Structure 1
Amino acid sequence: MGIKERKEKHKEDLRQRILDAAKELFLKDGYEATSIRKIAEKIEFSPTTIYLYYKDKADIMYALHQEGFKLLGSQFGVLQHVSEPFERLKAMGRVYMSFALNNPDFYELMFIMKEPIEFVKAHCHDEEWEEGEQAFTALIMTVDQCKAAGYFTSFDTTTFALNVWSLMHGLCSLKLQGHLDHMATTKAHILEEGDWLEKTFEGFIAMLNSLK
């Protein structure tokens, strides 16, 4: 590795350290309580160094938002080989659920905290938020293909896609915030034993099947 390559690697490593530290602080202390100075202290660099990479903490939050959507998009991407659209739609639900459970920090930044999407609305045109647009576009296209195959024909594509996303988001949020497990524990006398995330997801799929 030459000098130029080593310098580039150092820059990328430092950029990632900044993002990792910021993500931890945003989730632990909240966006408003997190400052560039606190991020700098965590990685043991000066605030000036961070400003060489990001103009402010909103820029850092947006970079984390992009990183999360790239990860989600790459996981959705592997489903393109599933030719039957209804099967792909079900698989997208499982991928979304798996992403949320395996990346709860990113999930909160992407879909729970309001600051990242406020930055997007204030500063980004559609082409500047490609990662986020691609994720929802994949869902829209899959619903459209389902309709072409005879599914959900009485529903508007965008509205139906939003409903699917809303239901999956609600399920994932209930699980991540502990509400789903609390319900299963406190209502054990009326609920059957088992994985209630899986049971609820299966109920969601059964509902989709009934709308075919």
Structure 2
Amino acid sequence: MGIKERKERHKEDLKIRILEAAKKLFVKEGYEATSIRKIAAEIEFSPTTIYLYYKDKTDIAYALHQEGFSLLRERLAALVYVDQPFERLKAMGRAYIQFALDHPDFYELMFIMKEPMKYLQAHHPEEEWPEGERIFDGLIKTVAACQDSGYFGGMDTNEVAMLSWSVVHGLCSLHITSHFKHIAEKCGSYALPAHEALLESVFQVYLRSLERLS
């Protein structure tokens, strides 16, 4: 490996360390309490080093936001090969919920924290929300395919897609903020950890309601 390649690898490794440290601190201490100085101390570098790669905290938050969406898209992309549209819609919901269970830190940055959206408004006011729109477009296409197969007759495609996203996002947000866990503990015993089992049970109720709409 040449000098140029080694420098590039060092640069990418350092950016990864910065993002990992920032993600840890954002979730643990909160966005407002996290400073560039704290992030630098976490990786034992000077704040000046971080400014070589990121303009400010919102720049770092948005980079993490993009990384999280890349992971989510990978999971959803694998489902395009599910032939039956309604089965694909159900699989998308489960994949979304499982992503939140596996990566609560990313989920909070992507869908709960407001800072990435502030970054977009400040630096790219001409764009709406490209990462979220790509995910939502895939959901709309799947709902439209469901309608072509006889589901959701007479219903607006966008409204069904928004309802579906709102339900799973609500469940995930309750889980991320630990509200769901406290309710689950009052709802009996499960083979899985109570809150995860109840999360799946509520999702099943929603799926049955979707089927009745068809």
TM-score, length basis structure 1: 0.91
- Once the two structures are superposed, the pairs formed by residues 103-142 of structure 1 within 5 Å of their partners are 103-124=103-124, 130-142=130-142
State the 1:187 CA deviation. 4.5
Contact 1:27 1:105 in 2 (8 A): yes
- Aligned pairs (5 A) from 1:2-21: 2-21=2-21
1:61-72 residue pairs with structure 2 within 5 A?
61-72=61-72
* Segments ≥4 residues shifted beyond 6 Å: none
Instruction: Tell me how far apart the structure 2 counterparts of residues 116 and 127 of structure 1 sit (CA, whole Å).
Output: 13
Describe the superposition over 1:1-46 as per-residue Cα deviations: whole angstroms up to 9, x where unpaired. Answer: 2222211111100000000011111111211121111111111111
Superposed, which structure 2 residues align to 1:1-212 within 5 Å? 1-124=1-124, 130-188=130-188, 193=190, 195-212=197-214
Deviation, 1:125, is 5.5
CA distance in 2, matches of 1:78, 1:15: 28
Instruction: Return the letter of the residue paired with 1:179.
Output: H
Moved more, 116-125 or 35-44: 116-125
Gaps of at least 5 residues in structure 1 are none
- CA distance 1:68–1:42, change in 2 (3 Å): same
Deviations 1:136-176 (A, max 9, x none): 11111111111122211222111211110110011122223
Q: CA RMSD in A?
A: 1.8
Deviation at 1:128, TM superposition (A): 8.5
TM-score between both structures, scaled by the size of structure 2 = 0.90
Alignment CA distance shift 1:87-1:108 (3 Å): same
Whole-angstrom CA distance in 1 between matches of 2:113 and 2:213: 32
Identity %: 60
Amino acid at match of 2:209: M
Superposed displacement of residue 78, structure 1: 0.6
Q: Secondary structure at the match of 1:186?
A: coil
